[in-house]
Structure 1
Amino acid sequence: MIRSMTAFAANETELENLAISCELRSVNHRYLDISIKLPDSLRFAEADVRSLISAKISRGKIECVLNFKKQPNQQSFMVDHDAVAALISATDLIEQQMSAALAFSALEVLAFPGIQQESELDKTELGPGISHLVTTTVKQLLETREREGRQLKALIEERCVKIQGFIAAANQRMPEVLVTLRKKLTDRIAGLAIQTDFDRLEQELVYLAQKLDITEELDRLDTHVSEVLRVLEQPDPVGRRLDFLMQELNREANTLGSKSMDKDMTQISIELKVLMEQIREQVQNIE
């Protein structure tokens, strides 16, 4: 299964009167790099979140953002009288300790950070809920990666077919190149008005034919392209293997270009490099 490394997924759930959100962003990366951002109140869940992500994703830079907000009371006009009484009592105690010269009220003191303590979240209740939320979001992220992966697979297969066409054209063109080369050499020697040593000429032509022979390069190109098409059908992550195959394809294409003695063969070499570069750009984004 080909998966893209670029994707986004977001989800939200309600737990313990809290609205908890999870966002996952994924971009290409050589290895698996997980970054988790969450408030201190949810820090207890970090290890589980990291394990849930790494169990399903093997490559890419993953950013997970967890956040929460308290759900507003649906009955806006209900008053908690016990809370009011506790607030008044706290205010009286603070005012007794304050100097008359101070320019702020007890309520302003209560609003200072750390004066009022938030009740701790119930980890036993929130833990399984957060795990389920992250699992669901990871599943959505994988669906997006697989959907984009299918598009990448189609693009790569299309270009592999074109490469195979150019390989066939090069195989067909090579005998004509050798014939043309032989004619150019014999015509040039004939124009020099000197006695021709045909045995030596044949030896040189054989040497040149061996030097310019690209049969092995074309065979290896065809083998590598076939391997790319085979790897695209594998169920496991194949990004690194495809990256290696692209290096091998480029090496053979460069050799092909260096041996070219014909404008058509040079053009074929250029077209091959263009197609391989297009594939390489897509492979960089495959898990």
Structure 2
Amino acid sequence: MTGFGKVTAELPDKKVTVEIKSLNSKQLDLSVRIPAVYREREMQLRNELLQRLERGKVDLNINVEYIGRDTSARINAAAVAGYYEQIHELAGRLGVPEPTDWFATLLRLPETVRSEAGEVSEAEWQAVHGAVSEAVTRLIDFRTQEGAMLRRVFEQKIGIIGDLLREVDPYEQERVEKIRSRLTENLKKISEVEYDRNRLEQELIYYLEKLDINEEKDRLANHLNYFLRTLDSEHGQGKKLGFIAQEIGREINTLGSKSNHAEMQIIVVRMKDVLEQIKEQILNVL
């Protein structure tokens, strides 16, 4: 979702620089800073950015640098004089030194420089609009490159979880036998208690069925495959990938709660660690 684009348009009397950058956000959060002379076109730019960028905290900045002597910017002499008198009086009252560079100080204050917006020719606007469009294209290209890198990361991480899931298999039968043996041995130690062996076997089967993890393993494998298939979608799927990651997490948690086996629980912890890495990177996906 992050990206950057910068384009400069050369006009006869001015140079227009367009910069646009994007950071992660759940929706499109758009900030536009443009000279007053182009203000009437702002809504058009916003609509175009909404259609092309979909999501992200987007900042668009258009800066105009005048090449010749003619400029629409005008210094507000009255405001400058008023600020000067106030600062001079306040410095004497407080006993603090006056600024050494008056103009640098005064011209940064509000309303000291005004831009007299005039008519923008169609040729000029087409040049500015083309620069904005090209800057957006470069931002999208940046996003695309980042997306290709993220895809490789996701495929690697999902593959690691799949490998860890297969590591569970050797311990599964061992775990069931250990639970059965432990229960049987404990009953043998209580020699004075008589019990129905058939009923005991039924209870053991019921208990072991509650610890069975085959369904969780199947669902987890399906979620991993679904995650990879979703990566192939053309349009933004960041939110959908986030939902799938949540489902993957639920199955991993259930595996951990049912495992009742030290080695399997270690595998589950490793799965959770990899899944957290995936969730962090999903924030970068449209």
Tell me whether the two structures share a fold, i.e. TM-score over 0.5. yes
Counting matched residue pairs gives 246
Could you say if the C-alpha distance between residues 170 and 18 of structure 1 is closer, same or farther in structure 2, counting changes exceeding 3 Å? Answer: same
Q: Which residue in 2 is equivalent to 1:191? A: 189
Give the CA deviation at 1:72.
4.1
Find the residue that maps to 2:25 and give its secondary structure. coil
SS of equivalent residue, structure 2 residue 57: strand
| Equivalent residue runs for 1:84-233 within 5 Å | 118=116, 120-194=118-192, 195-233=194-232
Other-structure match for 1:45: 41
Post-superposition shift, 1:161?
0.6
2:28 is the alignment partner of 1:32:
yes
Structure-2 change in CA distance of 1:236 and 1:116 (3 Å): closer
CA distance in 2 between partners of 1:70 and 1:207 (Å): 83
The answer as to whether partners of 2:241 and 2:282 remain within 8 angstroms in 1 is yes
Q: Which has the higher contact order (CA 8 A, sep 6+)?
A: 1
Displacement of 1:118 after TM fit?
A: 4.7
CA-CA distance at 1:212 after TM superposition: 0.8
Match of 1:63 among 59, 66, 73: 59
Separation (CA, whole Å) in 2 of partners of 1:65 and 1:132: 14
1:13-24 aligned at under 5 Å gives the runs 13-24=9-20
Instruction: Give, in angstroms, the shift of residue 61 of structure 1.
Output: 1.4
| Match of residue 2 from structure 2 | 6
Moved more, 165-174 or 34-43: 165-174
State how far apart, in whole Å, the 1-side matches of 2:153 and 2:233 are. 17
Judging changes above 3 Å, is the alpha-carbon distance between structure 1 residues 45 and 267 closer, same or farther for their aligned structure 2 residues?
Answer: same
Match for residue 281 of structure 2?
A: 282
Identity of aligned residues (%): 32
Paired residue type of 2:244:
L
Instruction: Give the distance between the partners of 2:239 and 2:187, measured in 1 at CA.
Output: 52
Range 115-124 or range 156-165, more displaced: 115-124
CA contact (8 A) 1:9 1:138 kept: yes
Indicate the larger mover: 155-164 or 6-15.
6-15
CA spacing shift, 1:117–1:271, aligned 2, 3 Å: closer
TM-score between both structures, scaled by the size of structure 2: 0.80
Q: Secondary structure at the match of 1:55?
A: helix
Give the gaps of 5 or more residues in structure 2. Answer: 71-106
Q: 2: distance between equivalents of 1:30 and 1:117?
A: 36
What CA deviation, in whole Å up to 9, does each residue of 1:87-123 have, x standing for no partner? xxxxxxxxxxxxxxxxxxxxxxxx9x79998572524
**TM-score relative to the length of structure 1:** 0.80
SS at match of 2:242: helix
Contact 1:45 1:130 in 2 (8 A): no
Cα deviation per residue 1:54-110 (whole Å; 9 max; x = unaligned)? 22211111111111010146xxxxxx9xxxxxxxxxxxxxxxxxxxxxxxxxxxxxx
Check whether the contact 1:189–1:196 (CA below 8 A) recurs between aligned residues: no
1:163–1:272 CA contact under 8 A, matched in 2: yes
Whether the aligned pair in 1 keeps the contact of 2:36 and 2:117 (CA below 8 Å) is: no
Task: Go from structure 1 to structure 2 and tell me whether the alpha carbon gap of 1:279 and 1:184 turns closer, same or farther (over 3 Å shift).
Answer: same
Q: Distance in 2 between matches of 1:271 and 1:197?
A: 42
**Bigger CA radius of gyration:** 1
Asked whether the 8 Å contact 2:37–2:120 carries over to 1, the reply is no
Match of 1:10, SS?
A: strand
